Structure 1
């Protein structure tokens, strides 16, 4: 039976191991150390959430010669108890005594170290363990629910969880393996080939099962059948939440849905250091694919349910309510001058940065001249503002725009007007756009990043699909006098970038002027400058309680938002969508740079 003996969660340390008060008693643990071990004893050792319940069920069936009645009349926990729990009397069971334990090497019965009995150590990849243990603590009400996965991951890596450090647990058991009659087997190989794994366990235990009995054991030890068996699934455990389960998923690679890329890389660094002397092989996934298929939006505006909220469709482009049809209708035949300069970006790709740079490149007196707001000196082509003269300005007129290729003025294709297309790696674009949706009241606030990522990939956002925007502008580049440049190159070397812009635009500036532009265009200076940071623009449209137009301005923040699964999915889509667009993308800046062509 599973006893309700605990009203709250409290960890205490016993000889360096975190244990649960009221469940693990010091009196019993002192006795465990001196348990008399018989030659026929079998102990399955696991770190928590590594397949313990599975091994209880497997051992139960193996030693019942595959008889299903054994798993229907008595629960696995009674037939294969934990040796560290005082209310499950391992010692009184008849031989062969079967048991499981989470105990670390130094707390195990001394008799096992004399190669009495047999030990099966089940290994599971620690990333899946973290995820399973995280959900386990949210499932059982007697355990403190972790505040966030990030917080729980930190505690796991610090060993501040039940049974302490996973690294110490497996390290100590493996380095002392010669003291035991021991078999190491992985959770993942059991998942991939259960029949072969059970046969390996039988061979180690000296148990002979014919094919029919072996097939029976395999059948009843599948995750699906165990989950339906009340004698194996722990469904009668008390103090649990209505949502969740003791047996939750039982898959390989679910960690990819929880770990961000940054967390995974951090974990990998720690893993490599801590496990460098342990030559065990770990399986991290099993041909894992992102579990939620992308639901592509048809773009049929007649279907009101498929239309993204707070957006309308204008000539195959989703746009927000800050745009007017009247202004958009003017774009096709807009009067373009040869001296005009257009900066084109997809949203959250450095537009405000470019407004500031362009304003300064064209200032008559950089050192003493009055610096006006960037949004009035380099206005948005597609927007109207009663206080900004967008059209009737003296040449050269400077514009910024997010418009896709098909909505740009036809006259721009004269190859005299200059266009700078600034592009940014789309993962950072998605993250920045996600946060901007929380800031802009005229856009739908996303439920979470995962949900927003799908809308982003489907083009159900302001200015539609990033892939189409970049691809169409690049594929029609020969129609324009155009320069392509990346946001990340600006981050890496702003001065070199400013010089490229000056050269492309045919401007002549001395070194001191260039230095002034670079200094005034640093993210820190722009963020604190009301003439650059948009802090006084359209206040009713924005939620100023969250970070706004200038949030971070970094490369690689996507790693803190994308789960590994989302990243793999995104990479597949990116490779397919952009395979014929040979622009180079910088995904991070540091010791390692990742490039996708």
Structure 2
């Protein structure tokens, strides 16, 4: 993938309505093959709303399963090859489905941003393990805004004020944040539902919980090493995890891995925006038991 500078030649896509949510064609062009994707019983699906900790959890799982078995992959293959993005379709690059079908690892680790109702049926039919990560809406919005600025397969966010209004209206790629986190929350008895804020607060504890869900018995010292390897600063410097080798993003605008913090929303929301957002959030989440922390 290196050596192809697609960002300079790409025109940003328009937002389209697709299957009841906002999308761009880069995630719908291969739709039939995405929907008929054949999952295997030992596949692990990592799902999140965009910019909620997908790469973080992908890397943790990759190290838990293959850190000792295939250590050379950690330094030779970027994470987006080892954990394919199922619905991704970019010109000149293999599709996410093709990359997933090519994986020789077992289990296959596959990531998606699709809301729960659009997950290919075979994942449920095969009783695959699903790991979902939720991030509080305010920090998620800030991170998504900076991501849209530098990622040319996303629509232009224009400015923060415009972006935030569209985020509240649910007019973002992969649909409303509210529906996404709540849709998976309804399946919390059968999937592993994680919180970005918990991971920041105590990564080691969350790695241990993940191992418990997956039925993995990993020695404490190995878990501790993984916890260190997946520290945000280490991943930001690691070219195999920081997406610097993917040709659709402009790191001069913003890095793919920006801050990884809880509470950065306070540097972006005005007092008025915060009041409006809180009121809107209360309405959207009033019948939901899901609680997310905006600071730790």
The reply to whether TM is greater than 0.5 is: yes
Equivalent of 1:413, from 111, 124, 127? 124
Counterpart Cα distance in 2 of 1:392 and 1:421: 24
Deviation string, structure 1 residues 147-192 (Cα, Å, up to 9, x no partner): xxxxxxxxxxxxxxxxxxxxxxxxxxxxxxxxxxxxxxxxxxxxxx
> Which residue matches 1:318?
22
> Which residue matches 2:94?
386
Do the aligned residues in 1 keep the contact of 2:13 with 2:25 (CA within 8 Å)? no
Counterpart Cα distance in 2 of 1:580 and 1:341: 30
Count of aligned residue pairs for this structure pair: 277
TM-score (norm 1): 0.44
Equivalent of 2:115, from 391, 404, 415? 404
Q: Does 1:363 align with 2:62?
A: no
Counterpart Cα distance in 2 of 1:506 and 1:369: 25
> Which residue matches 1:487?
196
Unaligned stretches of 5+ in structure 1? 1-307, 590-597
Counterpart Cα distance in 2 of 1:581 and 1:324: 30
Counterpart Cα distance in 2 of 1:492 and 1:567: 24
Aligned pair in 2 of structure 1 residues 519, 398: CA closer, same or farther (>3 Å)?
same
Counterpart Cα distance in 2 of 1:317 and 1:421: 19
> Which residue matches 2:56?
353
Equivalent of 1:568, from 261, 275, 278? 275
Deviation string, structure 1 residues 198-242 (Cα, Å, up to 9, x no partner): xxxxxxxxxxxxxxxxxxxxxxxxxxxxxxxxxxxxxxxxxxxxx
Counterpart Cα distance in 2 of 1:555 and 1:396: 31
Matches within 5 A, 1:8-407: 310-325=14-29, 327-363=30-66, 365=68, 369-371=72-74, 372-384=77-89, 385-386=93-94, 389-394=99-104, 395-407=106-118
Deviation string, structure 1 residues 544-575 (Cα, Å, up to 9, x no partner): 21222100000000011111111111111211
By relative contact order (CA 8 Å, sep 6+), the higher-ranking structure is 2
> Which residue matches 2:218?
509
Aligned pair in 2 of structure 1 residues 518, 477: CA closer, same or farther (>3 Å)?
closer
Q: Does 1:497 align with 2:206?
A: yes
> Which residue matches 1:105?
none
SS of the residue corresponding to residue 389 of structure 1 reads helix
TM-score (norm 2): 0.87
Q: Does 1:552 align with 2:259?
A: yes
Counterpart Cα distance in 1 of 2:32 and 2:167: 26
Two-structure CA RMSD over aligned residues (Å): 2.1
Q: Does 1:464 align with 2:175?
A: yes
Counterpart Cα distance in 2 of 1:368 and 1:323: 31
Q: Does 1:430 align with 2:141?
A: yes
Larger Rg: 1
Aligned pair in 2 of structure 1 residues 544, 321: CA closer, same or farther (>3 Å)?
farther
Deviating beyond 6 angstroms after TM superposition, the runs of 4 or more aligned structure 1 residues are none
